[in-house]
Structure 1
Amino acid sequence: MNWKHFLGAVVAVAGLGVMAPAGAQTITLSGASQFNDDHAFTKALVRFEELVKQYYGKPINFTLHKNSELGLEKQYFEYMAQGKAVDYGIVSPAHMSTFSRAAPFIDAPFLFRDLDHWNKVLDADLLKPIADEIAQKADVMLIGYAGGGVRNIFVNKPVKNLAEMKGLKVRVQGAPIWSRAFAAAGLSPTVIAYNEVYNAIQNGVINAGENEAAGVDQMKFYEVGPNLAMTEHAITIRPICFSGKTFKKLPPDLQQAVLRAGKEAGAYGRQVESSEDSAKLDALEKAGKLKRIPFADRDQMKKLVDPVMAAYAKDIGVDTIFAQINATK
């Protein structure tokens, strides 16, 4: 049986227990994570499960499929939109672009000045109009915001400024804004599936990728890209998503528990990831697995990307939100 057939079989089986008929057996909710128990995303989803059980106070079952058992985040989002196989999961906004053009704006490059600015934007709920659009177009609810990892560029050679990065073949996420932003900065962006990045660098197809510490550690990207250029070009926002089709079938008291737990689990995930970020890099550097390379041209890189971001925000109709984010002190 090949991988696609195996995955299809797993999804078919997983889909059997997503929802229980009213008044029959205990409701089962199925979640998905690309990562293992140690990853911040998985920890946030486990906390979500614990909080739902606490706030609901009635019997309910959860099945969390880890280690990409049900594929990748893009597929989880499609399953949630269809109301089958996956009821909840953490998904990068870039993977929502098929349904909502505005979605990838949530954590586009150079959107946030620093972690403090990022927290203030989330606390002010400035992204709510985008979440509303995603719920309307994809029928997937963003019930909390995890993330908090600062993204840098891991490379197979040391690069410390824009001149040395010129033409660098770097893997970016699938949303067009990522390719446009990196191209504006003089790099050569390439869209490659997340699980193929390691081999692509190893085989010389690309020179680099970009990720937060948790991903670099989990995927062992440091083995093929041991030089971490500290561009700090993005701070991740990873929404905890919940299928709208599933949500509508839940009893009202469980719906309330899901919404409350989602918000709190997101805040927990942000705290976990942002606090683990530098600790993971410290440990990897101490073990001789990677080297942090100070990046001299972050301000210049941002200046090159800013017009692209402004045009993108206007194009997708979120220029007001973009202005509000920039005005947040």
Structure 2
Amino acid sequence: MPSRRSFLQTAALSSVGASAAAPWVARAQAPIALRFSSSMLADDNAAHFVWYRSFETALKASTGDRFKIDYFPNNQLGKEADVVQQVKVGSIDMMVTGSSIFATVAPEIGMLDLGYLFDSYAHAGKALDGSVGRQLDGILNKRSGCSVLTWASHFGARSVYTKAPVKSLAEIKGVKLRVLPTPAFIETFKAMGAIPTPIPFGELYMAAQTGVVDGFEHDAATVLASKLNEVTKSCWLTEHLFSPMVVVIGKRGMGKIPADLQPAFMQAVATATAQQRTIASQKSTAAVEELKAKGMTFFPMAAAERAAVRAEMQKSLWSGFARQHPVTEPLFKAIDAARGQA
């Protein structure tokens, strides 16, 4: 089979004129193939897929058939920790995931998992679209060669779901809550007085059903999709974590994109994020309403208690994190400064 170079040379020589040949050669160019991994299903209720679909549509509208995005959902290319390494070496070009997994490569990104850091996804977007996001991207790029293309949203903030009603800091004391097995999550709930209990997500339904835990923390859309409302009937709207969704591309993946197509590529990224954030907000609201219809009771967290917990987090967890990772100290300040601007 002739090489791509010899194919184009033959095509050019056989043309009757450069003006006639140029459009034909452009059409004959092989599309730029990018392998894109996700841990979620290819489903309209999956935050990853919603972003990917918007991105693919926007990219095709601006570049035609110049790109071929091969989307691999549902961990088809491996577990997220393995995919991170494959993006680093270039065997996978892009991945969409929660920000937490990249703290294994750049621990500074773990700051985004600290409780009560953000007040809303609008607040998170304001900070991450600005200097905070750029600096975290720079840290990741220096450590791994990977680049953050964008920070998007999951389908709602994480709150506390329990079998018996919990409506205050006094009532959360001593409650066994399933949490993610990361220091940020564990220390957040210790500071609130709960008993954080790391359990794999696949075992959560049974653990709540049998009383191994009294509840858990998660977002409403996941609770609904996983039918966890069958084993818990109460939600305390702590909204303790507005976890960013991040799209990352490896050095080799970025190198595949010609300079003349990079503006269109990045514009498609921006368009997808704007659309996905709007859809994420709508999905979050719809999930809460559906859970209410299925018998879930929601209790807002008192503003005074939220402020008190955030102050405690700032004094202990955030300052401790900044001492461990000094480069994050100005990032915490920038996030705080963006608090009233979103």
Give the TM-score range, shorter chain. 0.7 to 0.9
Which residue of 300, 309, 313 maps to 1:301? Answer: 309
Specify the code of the residue in structure 2 equivalent to 1:240: V
TM-score by length of 2: 0.80
Alpha-carbon separation, structure 1, partners of 2:140 and 2:123: 24
Checking the alignment, whether the CA contact within 8 Å between 1:145 and 1:263 is kept in structure 2 is no
The reply to whether residue 170 of structure 1 matches residue 169 of structure 2 is: no
Name the residue aligned to 1:3. none
Name the residue aligned to 1:228. 235
Residue 312 (structure 1) shift: 1.1
Alpha-carbon separation, structure 2, partners of 1:294 and 1:162: 12
Specify the code of the residue in structure 2 equivalent to 1:303: A
The 1:219/1:135 distance shift into structure 2, 3 A limit, reads farther
Residue 266 (structure 1) shift: 1.9
Checking the alignment, whether the CA contact within 8 Å between 2:162 and 2:233 is kept in structure 1 is yes
Name the residue aligned to 1:122. 128
Residue 309 (structure 1) shift: 1.6
Name the residue aligned to 1:320. 330
Alpha-carbon separation, structure 2, partners of 1:209 and 1:72: 23
Residue deviations 1:62-82, cap 9 Å, x none? 222233434554443333223
Which residue of 253, 256, 277 maps to 1:249? Answer: 256
The reply to whether residue 60 of structure 1 matches residue 57 of structure 2 is: no
The reply to whether residue 109 of structure 1 matches residue 115 of structure 2 is: yes
Provide the secondary structure at the position in 1 that maps to 2:166: coil
The 1:135/1:220 distance shift into structure 2, 3 A limit, reads farther
Name the residue aligned to 2:140. 134
Name the residue aligned to 1:154. 161
Name the residue aligned to 1:12. none
* Larger mean Cα displacement after TM superposition, 196-205 or 302-311: 196-205
Residue 112 (structure 1) shift: 1.6
Alpha-carbon separation, structure 1, partners of 2:336 and 2:98: 22
Which residue of 23, 27, 33 maps to 1:28? Answer: 33
The 1:253/1:222 distance shift into structure 2, 3 A limit, reads farther
Checking the alignment, whether the CA contact within 8 Å between 1:115 and 1:235 is kept in structure 2 is yes
Specify the code of the residue in structure 2 equivalent to 1:237: P
Checking the alignment, whether the CA contact within 8 Å between 1:77 and 1:91 is kept in structure 2 is no
Provide the secondary structure at the position in 2 that maps to 1:157: coil
* Larger mean Cα displacement after TM superposition, 73-82 or 225-234: 73-82
Checking the alignment, whether the CA contact within 8 Å between 1:112 and 1:118 is kept in structure 2 is yes
Residue deviations 1:280-326, cap 9 Å, x none? 101221133x2213334333332332221222133212111111211
Alpha-carbon separation, structure 2, partners of 1:82 and 1:222: 41
Provide the secondary structure at the position in 1 that maps to 2:157: strand
Residue 26 (structure 1) shift: 3.6
Which residue of 87, 94, 99 maps to 2:100? Answer: 94
Alpha-carbon separation, structure 2, partners of 1:71 and 1:154: 30
Alpha-carbon separation, structure 2, partners of 1:247 and 1:180: 37
Name the residue aligned to 1:10. none
Provide the secondary structure at the position in 2 that maps to 1:91: strand
Provide the secondary structure at the position in 2 that maps to 1:48: helix
Using the aligned pairs only, state the percent identity.
Answer: 27
1:265-304 to 2 correspondence within 5 Å?
A: 265-288=272-295, 290-296=296-302, 297-304=305-312
Name the residue aligned to 1:239. 246
Paired residue total? 307
Alpha-carbon separation, structure 2, partners of 1:293 and 1:195: 26
Residue 268 (structure 1) shift: 1.9
Specify the code of the residue in structure 1 equivalent to 2:83: Y
Residue deviations 1:257-297, cap 9 Å, x none? 33332232222221211232122101221133x22133343
The 1:116/1:32 distance shift into structure 2, 3 A limit, reads closer
- Max Rg structure: 2
Aligned CA RMSD, in angstroms, stands at 2.6
Alpha-carbon separation, structure 1, partners of 2:211 and 2:194: 16
Specify the code of the residue in structure 1 equivalent to 2:145: D
Residue 117 (structure 1) shift: 3.0
Specify the code of the residue in structure 2 equivalent to 1:276: K
Alpha-carbon separation, structure 2, partners of 1:292 and 1:70: 38
Name the residue aligned to 1:260. 267
Checking the alignment, whether the CA contact within 8 Å between 1:106 and 1:127 is kept in structure 2 is no
Residue deviations 1:209-252, cap 9 Å, x none? 22222222222222233321111112121112222222223333
